[in-house]
Structure 1
Amino acid sequence: MNQQNPPGIFIYAALPCEAKPLVEHFNLKKETPVQPFAVYLGRDICLTVTGLGKSAMAAGVAYTHALFAAVEHPVLVNIGIAGHKDHALGSLFLIDKITDIDSLKSYYPPLVFTPPCPTAAIQTVSRPQIDYDPHHLCDMEASAFYEIAVRFSSGELIHCLKVISDNALSPAENIQPKQVSQLIAAHVATIEALLAELRRLAELITAPEPAQFERLIQRYHFTASEQGQLKNRLSRWELLTGAQIPELDETPLHKGKDVLCWLDRQINKLEFSL
């Protein structure tokens, strides 16, 4: 596997039929030595077919990023199918809320750009559902994908795109692999536009050291690990605010950890207002 020019974009699909139109569109080639998962590589893109379900998705994300551990601020996108009670087959949604039905944990992918398609909330389940929720999409991987992905990148660069494959009029047992490939193939232009926007955001985050970084590490004591956390938070702040400089209230700040906590609170306020 070529580690000299590692990819910056990582796509995760549960099923081969979900991956097929993306492999063809982006001209990806299968890495034959890779055994646990089917991994496809192309210019700046790595696509992994993980298998169905939360455990398989979590393992696939972790495995792929073990292969490319040196990539800084990668873009991670889960692309696949989902069900909904009423939405028409083939409708495309960018996910803005993910709820794991088993753990009841919820995740909110930050949308710091104009979505290229409608947004929706999704519930992730452990087994196919007979009854459709009228307010949420339903899939079997999104929560596991997001929970593992945030260990490897910034939340702004981690997203799920879902195409409606089944609804109350055409339930899940009617799904055919060829149909799934066709539904996803119809949206490759939108997918490509989203990846381009996320790549642009990643380049902003990996830009030179953010403003105030040097001043803060000179004023407060940060461990080596905390310096990395500081750079990440300052980069996220600049991304969310359009490169504004945070006005720190330094009165209660005595050490690096205090600065990190203060930045976390300010960033959470920004993300809440999106």
Structure 2
Amino acid sequence: MKTYQRMNQTNACKTFIYTALPCEAKPLVAYFKLKKDTTVQPFAVYSNQAIRLTVTGPGKSAMAAGIAYTQALFAATEHPIMLNIGIAGHKDHALGSLFLIDKLIDLDSGRIHYPPMVCHPPCATGSLQTASKPQLGYNHPHLCDMEASAFYETAVRFSSAELIQCLKVISDNRQTPAENITPDQVSDLMAAHIPAIAGLLADMTVLAELITPSEPRLFKQLVQQYHFTASERGRLKSLLWRWQVLTDDKEPAFDATGMQRGKDVLHWLDRQINQIDFCL
């Protein structure tokens, strides 16, 4: 318990990077001058004053466990930046191509997620399919990996969706299949995109400063007018902050017709946000 408390008091990082493999992390550790945290045993964790990088190991379960462990141990801000960086395969894309993922498909569960694209993408965007086993057929239009859907589904429990993104570098395709990849090649592919990664983190840092832990406008008014449970109040804050970011701080024109409970307000806000046409 003392170790847990000390870590939370002295390691208040706001940016969390998650990679599955050490070779994916290597160039990031070097560029950001991260030092290994020897107090952490289950996962390899590297950090400086602003960034904490965790190597979770491959697979969805490992990624989910790595996120849950480090967020429980180190998170000290309400809206941390959370970024998954790693390699992915694709049937046609050239090796070394960089993609910011705008659609996540979990092949095993069928669940689909759309990470909000609030920051300006530093590269092309694309859809990614995550599966429990390597996808070596190269017979679908999506990028493919083994961690990203678990990263996103776990990360949204700890931060605002706008601050959760996945960057993937193409490491294999039909002409150069996955069995030919070496760790050194992966590190070289990742290192080539350090400027784009740093740029995205800078943009996300600016966005995170807008999503402050204080109460968003209309929050007090709505909780006085409608009954919200404790968890619903947290959801209300998240939706109101998201509304302000996506609409440049415009006030929502609430239609109170049929709104009798806090849950009705949440449903209305959620529908309105999903209808916003956001262009980059």
- Bin of the TM-score, shorter chain as denominator length: over 0.9
Alpha-carbon RMSD across the aligned residues, in angstroms, is 1.7
CA distance in 2, matches of 1:247, 1:12: 39
Which of 169, 178, 191 lines up with 1:172 in the alignment?
Answer: 178
Q: What are the residue-to-residue correspondences of 1:17-166 with 2, within 5 Å?
A: 17-166=23-172
CA distance in 2, matches of 1:241, 1:63: 34
**Does residue 259 in structure 1 map to residue 261 in structure 2?**
no
Which of 216, 220, 223 lines up with 2:222 in the alignment?
Answer: 216
Spell out structure 1 runs of 4+ moving beyond 4 A.
271-274
CA distance in 1, matches of 2:267, 2:122: 33
CA distance in 2, matches of 1:120, 1:223: 37
Count of residues in Structure 1 that have an aligned counterpart in Structure 2: 274
Cα 1:72–1:50 change in 2 (3 A) is same
Question: Per-residue CA shift, 1:83-138, capped at 9, x if unaligned?
Answer: 11111111000001111111111111111232110001111122222211341111
CA distance in 1, matches of 2:278, 2:102: 12
- Uncovered stretches (5+) of structure 1, i.e. residues with no partner: none
**What is the CA distance between 1:219 and its match in structure 2?**
2.0
**What is the CA distance between 1:213 and its match in structure 2?**
1.6
Question: Partner residue of 1:191?
Answer: 197
- Uncovered stretches (5+) of structure 2, i.e. residues with no partner: 1-6
TM-score (norm 2): 0.93
Counterpart contact for 1:78–1:161, Cα < 8 Å: yes
**Does residue 202 in structure 1 map to residue 213 in structure 2?**
no
TM-score (norm 1): 0.95
Please state whether the residue corresponding to 1:39 is helix, strand or coil.
Answer: strand
Question: Per-residue CA shift, 1:214-271, capped at 9, x if unaligned?
Answer: 2222222333333222221111100111111001011221222221121111112227
**What is the CA distance between 1:203 and its match in structure 2?**
1.2
CA distance in 1, matches of 2:213, 2:157: 20
Cα 1:105–1:271 change in 2 (3 A) is farther
